[in-house]
Amino acid sequence: MATLTAEQKEHLSEFGFVSVDDVLDPESVIDPVINEYASVLDSLAEELLEDGVISSTYNDLEFGERVTQIYEESGEIHNGYFDFSLPQTGIKSDTPFWAGPAVFKALTAPTLLDSVESVVGPEIYSNPVQHVRIKVPESRAPRDESGNVKFGVTPWHQDNGVVNPEADETDILTVWFPLMDASVENGCLQVVPGSHTGQLLTHCPGYKQAMGATIPTDMFAENTAMPVPIKKGGALFLDKLTVHSSLPNVSERIRWSFDLRYHPVGQPTGRSVFPGFVARSRSNPQSELHDPNHWYLMWKETRDALARSEQPQFNRWDIDDPACA
């Protein structure tokens, strides 16, 4: 079993994070995901070419340069085509998402679940708050009317802050891992060591034009933040209260990562309308989900149902909070 060592678990407990090498096999787990997403990019490129948005499919380019060129020429970020989740608002019957078999295999990789089990225990639920992040170089990234990068730096936040209050007592463990080396230059994560020992801080929606809800920097010790580069195959484990953000991608290549969450079976997910599943159960193995097609259908049925109904609120935060002034 690829469990965390006693020292690694102690580091996670004391500092709210730990980076671990060799959690996922690059050849058998990560590379199939990369190949699967290449086919997704094929479909996106064909659609944009047919609509006259881009002048070529750029199928002679490798994935990173190709997605950068397509995003740059179209002037838009198309991450929904790759994401194995749904947006928080505006879900329609044709809202794109991707829940493919290689992605499912990565979420349920035995070595990954071994590591998670050593923290949350033997009954593991895959939380539906999960994303793939493709961040193109900021020098070529699409920008909004104000000149801000459309999908750039992830602002300061705690992962507990992006779920509903029902999950405040849930023992959520975040697992963040790159599909390629994540360096300081291409925008790895940075964390504030020890910040998990505090409380859930106020997250201000759209604070100073940031992407998503942001913790004002006067609420934590920003000057103690440290970057955490991760090699392909490694992973960063985070406490749900650890304050973290990403660095800007100032390199010439994409930064590509998975952002996953796991917790003990039976605890609230914090986004109950989205489908999670039992990834491992030592007491009831029959409850585990092993069929990637069933996982895809769970997301499809959720999308279709939400497109026909009033959509729930996921954001608990108010921009009028005094902390956001």
- Minimum mean pLDDT range among 99-108, 260-269, 316-325: 316-325
Type of residue found at 71? Y
Distance CA 296, CA 96 (A): 12
Give residue 318's pLDDT. 80
Type of residue found at 263? H
Of 260, 257, 250, nearest in space to 232 by CA: 257
Of 128, 193, 197, nearest in space to 164 by CA: 128
Give residue 154's pLDDT. 92
Residues 261/274, Cβ–Cβ less than 8 Å: no
In order of their start, the domains of the chain are 6-313 (2.60.120.620)
Residues 197/14, Cβ–Cβ less than 8 Å: no
Give residue 316's pLDDT. 85
CA distances 79 to 13, 21, 40, 82, 156, Å, are 33, 27, 11, 5, 21
Give residue 207's pLDDT. 67
Residues 278/295, Cβ–Cβ less than 8 Å: no
Which comes out higher in pLDDT, residue 205 or 80? 80
Q: What is the dihedral of CA 117, 315, 190, 67, to 10 degrees?
A: 90
Indicate the angle between helix axes 110-120 and 6-15, nearest 10 degrees: 60
Give residue 241's pLDDT. 98
Give residue 209's pLDDT. 57
CA distances 158 to 17, 84, 172, 212, 319, Å, are 12, 21, 11, 12, 17
pLDDT digits (tens, 9 = 90+) for 274-312: 999 999 999 999 999 999 999 999 999 999 999 999 888
pLDDT digits (tens, 9 = 90+) for 111-161: 999 999 999 999 999 999 999 999 999 999 999 888 888 888 899 999 999
Distance from the first to the final alpha carbon of the chain: 49
List alpha helices for 54-197, DSSP H. 63-74, 101-107, 110-120
Q: Which residues pair with 175 in a beta bridge?
A: 237, 260
Could you give the 3-state DSSP secondary structure of residue 219? helix
Distance CA 120, CA 202 (A): 26
Give residue 208's pLDDT. 64
pLDDT digits (tens, 9 = 90+) for 211-232: 678 999 999 999 999 999 999 9
